[in-house]
Amino acid sequence: MPAAPNQQDPPPAVWKTDELGEQWLPRPGGPLPRLSPRLETIAITGAFNSRQYDSPSEARQAVISGAVACGWQLSDVTRRLSGD
């Protein structure tokens, strides 16, 4: 189905390169979202109150993967989860 006459296609994604030479897709539209206190706790300690994950490591990885999907880079994860 063709687009309505007043609709425009979104601009193409523009990939960036981080300080380690890895490519990443910046989050459009502003600052990075904060993790909820519960997700920060899981990411830092691996402690969780659910049967969703088989191990603390798996729980932490799920949170980190979600943060990356929101546009976080390794430096963002390190800075935000170390309390800086």
Give the pTM. 0.53
Q: Is residue 7 part of a domain?
A: no
pLDDT band (50, 70, 90) for residue 2:
low
Report the alpha-carbon distance of residue 42 to residue 60 in Å, rounded.
6
Q: Is residue 61 part of a domain?
A: yes
For 32, the token pair is 């990075």
User: Is the pLDDT score of 63 beyond 80?
Assistant: yes
Parent domain of 65: 32-81
Q: With H, G, I as helix, E, B as strand and everything else as coil, classify residue 50.
A: coil
Q: Is residue 10 part of a domain?
A: no
Task: Provide the residue type at 30 as one letter.
Answer: G
Q: Is residue 59 part of a domain?
A: yes
Other Cβ atoms less than 10 A from the Cβ of 35: the count is 21
Total domains present in the chain: 1
Q: Is residue 38 part of a domain?
A: yes
Packing angle, helices 56-69 and 74-81, rounded to 10: 120
Q: Is residue 49 part of a domain?
A: yes
Q: Is residue 68 part of a domain?
A: yes
- pLDDT tens-digit map of 38-54: 777 787 777 777 677 78
